[in-house]
Structure 1
Amino acid sequence: MTTLFQKKFLAVLFGAVLIASTGILGGCGGDSASSGGSTAAAFQEDSNDKRTYNDGKYKVGGEFKAGEYIVVSNGKGNSFIDVAKDDSSSFDSSVASDMFTTRSIITVADGQYIEVLNATVYTLAAAPKVEPKDGVLPVGMYRVSA
């Protein structure tokens, strides 16, 4: 594990603890790993696009298209995603990061980079479906539409 990765991981962990404690004390909760400035509505969803991406670092554009993705933990501990504005791996280049154990949602734009650890990134069409148990969805981030 690189020192820079350790710093990012600790920063995300600290942020998650801070957000969780604020949510508990403030009576609300939630998290998001969107890239900021862009919304999912800005991207066209292709229902035939069934690609997946495993651990690694990817440049958005070309094969890894800009848009919204479902990220599912592989169950091997904490999963981590980082969306960055460049390939420098500097802490300042990070646009959004998320550490999770179930599933998350990200929105990425052309020219950004995404780093994935212990998770699989799915296009919306390829994402595994989640069935409620006793009418309740498991913990995680979900896309809700009308």
Structure 2
Amino acid sequence: MCASPEYLERYGIPDSPEDLKKHLCLVYKGLSGTQRWYFRQEHNDKPIILEPQGTLRSNNAEVLVAAALEGRGIVLFPTWIFDHDRFKNRKLIPLLPEWTGTVDPHSIGIHLVSPENRIRSQKVRTVLDFILKEIGTPPYWDNILEF
């Protein structure tokens, strides 16, 4: 979740998910309707559920990110959607770093599934090693706060 410095200067920085009720949120609206936002803290599995409000809803993530860059509101997307240079150059500011915000009520991840076998084939091992090396642990796209 992030916003531009201009937006935050004008409307303030939210301190908690509840504070987002007082902010302009840029909301993704897809085939299953308007997304809810779910916030969790590390030691509490029960999410805070928010139905974000704002003046702009779109079924296009790029439109919502562009609106955030223009100071129109706060946007929540997975970190891999964002150009990380926007964070490095302070065009977008990450918000609520002590919370994990998602649009899904359940934790989701990337999984590699292969048959359980004591001896993996060389091809499977090569693909697995490549994926782990390229993505990293944690995934490189989750390191936006390190800029």
What interval of TM-score do these two structures reach, taking the shorter chain for normalisation?
under 0.3
**Higher radius of gyration, 1 or 2:** 2
Q: Which has the higher helix share?
A: 2
- Give me the TM-score of the superposition, normalised by structure 1: 0.25
- Give me the TM-score of the superposition, normalised by structure 2: 0.25
Q: Which has the higher strand share?
A: 1
